[in-house]
Structure 1
Amino acid sequence: MRWDVLIRDAIRDRRVLEIWYDGTGPRLIEPHRYGVSTAGSLVLRAWQQSNARKPLDRPAFRLFDVGKVAQAVETQKTFPGPRQGYGPTDETMQRIYAQL
């Protein structure tokens, strides 16, 4: 659980994270929910703002496998709260450790 405290704190404080994921450049994400997937992997449901420091044409929710995160940094940026479309449940998760 290499990123456990960082992810939990970012969700609690509504801080944007910059992550290097699955061999790609940095992504800016707003973490919303962190837990264990139905397949047993640690996962993070987050709103992805950008990829490799460029705004996305279509920001959207993504499910990130925490085991594929090579680096993660909490930024000084915050976000106001849950994005539209975020619901109280997530069928991809069997256990939730932290959520908005």
Structure 2
Amino acid sequence: MTHFDDVICEAIATMHLLVVEYGGAERLVQPHVYGDDAAGERLLSAYQVAGGSASGAATGWKSFRIEKVKSLTLSDRRFHAPRPEFQRNDGAFSRIICQIGG
């Protein structure tokens, strides 16, 4: 377990946005799924609503490798529903620690 587990799962359970420092940029994201990929890497699947991006896309679905996250904090802002295109039990994850809706 990483030290981010509790914060990420709390954000998912309460639908709070997260402020993530990743790739040299601060990003505001709606967390949806958190777990391990097939290689055992810890991932957060989230929809970025604002901030920087290495790809140049400031918004959209992103996968964040937790080992590369510099900092992560719970925002006081909330989102009110999962993204319409959100798919539970995402096949990119071999093990899900927490996700929206359970």
Establish whether TM, by shorter chain, passes 0.5.
yes
> Which residue of the partner structure matches residue 14 of structure 1?
15
| 1:49 maps onto 2:49 in alignment | yes
Question: 1:13 corresponds to which letter in structure 2?
Answer: T
Identity within the alignment, % = 28
In the TM superposition, 1:14-33 aligns within 5 A as: 14-22=15-23, 24-33=24-33
- TM-score after normalising by structure 2: 0.87
Query: What is the CA–CA distance in structure 1 between the aligned matches of 2:10 and 2:89, rounded to whole Å?
Result: 20
> What residue identity is the alignment partner of 1:3?
F
The structural deviation recorded for 1:27 is: 0.1
Question: What RMSD, in angstroms, separates the aligned Cα atoms of the two structures?
Answer: 1.5
After TM superposition, the runs of 4+ consecutive aligned structure 1 residues lying more than 6 A away are: none
Query: Is there any run of 5+ residues in structure 2 with no aligned partner, and where?
Result: none
C-alpha displacement of 1:28: 0.1
Encode CA deviations 1:40-84: one digit per residue, 9 max, x unaligned: 1000000001114xxx87621111101111001111000012102
Instruction: Map 1:1-100 to 2 at 5 A.
Output: 1-22=2-23, 24-52=24-52, 59-100=59-100
Amino acid in structure 2 at the alignment position of 1:72: L
For 2:3 and 2:58, locate their aligned partners in 1 and report how far apart those are by CA, in whole Å: 29
Contact 2:89 2:96 in 1 (8 A): no
Higher strand share: 1
Show structure 1 runs of 5+ residues with no match. Answer: none
Q: How far apart in 2 are the matches of 1:85 and 1:99?
A: 14
Counterpart of 2:47, as a letter, is W
Q: How many residues align?
A: 96
